[in-house]
Amino acid sequence: MSSIKNLQRRLLLKTFAATSALGVGGSALAQTTATKSPRVLRIGYQKGWLSILKARGTLEKRLAALGASVTWSEFTAGPVQLEALNVGSIDFGDVGEAPPIFAQAAGAPLVYVGASNPRPRLEAILVPKESSIRSVADLKGKKIAFNKGSNVQYLIAKLLEKHGLKYGDVQPIFLPPADARAAFERGAVDAWAIWDPFLAAAEKTLGARVLADGTGVVSNRWYFFSAREFATHNADLLRIALEEIDQIDRWAARNKSAAAQELSKILGLDRAITELWISRTSFGVVPVTGELLAEQQAIADTFFDLKLIPRPLKLRHAAPVNLN
């Protein structure tokens, strides 16, 4: 029955679009539909490319032509961003590869709508520059600060595995980025797993040393997400949002110095920090294929094996909605 209702809704929207194209007057259907509440794309974002999109205002201009508007909510990390999706506070955003797994395990109605190319160098484990820790194997028994449920949790698991350690061989200290940095600065933890731009900021301002990043271990993609119900009925808004993000990515790939300057101004960061960040970024928005879902499935399987999520997941249920 629900599929029939959805089909009827799609046919109604197509009819409205066709009648709107007739010009002045239109039909009674078009006039009635136009009086309904306008559509809103509620975006949750972290400090990064979506910050540029917000500052430029190009998405608002494109969606205004469709009678839609945009709202923005900033988050410090992916897990809280996806909590907002789960309670219906946002419709779209970008997060690392691990937060969606925890969200889906908690029953969030999440669907992947796009992804970045791999960015393994944008997350790493840091140690103080004078630390005696010289390799990942030296982390055994040490305290590592990181944001619970974030992409670096998977990085830690895979790096430990690569160096012959188990996840239980280290002491996780769950802290959001700002608190983790404070703990790292005062020596309350031995290491800190973090992502850019916090990573670059710690390198430049604290002299922190990269013990290991994600190269050869994780893909560290960023995923663009929505709720399935919203995506089903607002594919055009999501498609335009992804097009605008991809345009910024393509521009930044050709104009890294200018992109660093723009990010520096928007985020209030020293330009040396944004230059380091951009220097190790890969660019471009790509569709979520079966191959990418397989990467996410491997993360879900790892987290289940480590008892970090309560049940196994089958990520085919998060297959993307057709945005065309």
- pLDDT at 193 exceeding the cut of 70: yes
* 112 & 150 share domain: no
Q: Are residues 235 and 309 in the same domain?
A: yes
Q: What is the pLDDT of residues 125-154, one digit of tens each?
A: 999 999 999 999 999 999 999 999 899 999
247 and 189 co-located in one domain: no
The answer on 138 and 61 residing in a single domain is no
Residue 165 lies in a domain: yes
Residues 56 and 198 grouped into a single domain: no
Please report which confidence band the pLDDT of residue 98 belongs to, taking 50, 70 and 90 as the band edges: very high
Are 59 and 103 contained in the same domain? yes
CA 59/CA 49 separation, integer angstroms? 13
The answer on 230 and 113 residing in a single domain is: yes
The pLDDT, as a whole number, for residue 47 is 82
pLDDT in the model for residue 33: 38
Cis bond upstream, residue 287 (ω within 30): no
Q: How far is CA 131 from the centre of its chain?
A: 31
User: Residues 225, 312: one domain?
Assistant: yes
In a domain, 275, yes or no: no
Q: 3 in a domain, yes or no?
A: no
Domain-embedded: residue 126: yes
Asked if residue 163 is part of any domain, the answer here is yes
User: Does pLDDT of 3 surpass 60?
Assistant: no
Find out whether 283 and 249 touch, Cβ atoms under 8 Å. yes
- What are the pLDDT digits (tens) for 41-76? 999 998 888 899 999 999 999 999 999 999 999 998
Residue 184: predicted pLDDT: 98
**Which of 191, 213, 235 is at the close of a domain?**
213
Q: How far is CA 251 from CA 45, 255, 264, 272, in A?
A: 20, 6, 16, 20
What six digits make up the tokens of 131? 């630390």
Instruction: Answer yes or no: is 276 within a domain.
Output: no
pLDDT for 257 equals: 96
Kindly tell me if the per-residue pLDDT of 114 is higher than 90. Answer: yes
* Residue 197 domain boundaries: 120-213
Q: Is the pLDDT of residue 2 over 80?
A: no
Give backbone dihedrals phi and psi of 108, rounded to 5 degrees, phi first. Answer: -65, 140
Residue 96 lies in a domain: yes
- Residue 136: what pLDDT? 98
Mean per-residue pLDDT over the chain, rounded: 87
Q: Which residues pair with 123 in a beta bridge?
A: 195
- Model pLDDT, residue 111: 92
Within a domain: 25? no
pLDDT tens profile 213-226: 999 999 999 999 99
Total of domains in the chain: 2
Number of H-type helices and E-type strands within the chain: 14, 11
| Co-location of 47 and 196 in the same domain | no
- Please report which confidence band the pLDDT of residue 36 belongs to, taking 50, 70 and 90 as the band edges: low
Using pLDDT thresholds of 50, 70 and 90, give the confidence band for residue 319: low
Residue 11's pLDDT is: 32
Least confident segment among 3-7, 244-248, 271-275: 3-7
246: CATH: 3.40.190.10
- Does residue 309 carry a pLDDT above 90? yes
* Dist. CA 252–CA 290, nearest whole Å: 28
For residues 226 and 314, state if they share a domain: yes
Query: What DSSP state is assigned to residue 47?
Result: S
Residues 288 and 260 in one domain: yes
Same domain for 193 and 252, yes or no, is no
Q: Rounded to the nearest 5°, which phi and psi values hold at 68?
A: -115, 155
* pLDDT more than 70, % of the chain: 87
| pTM reported for the whole predicted model | 0.82
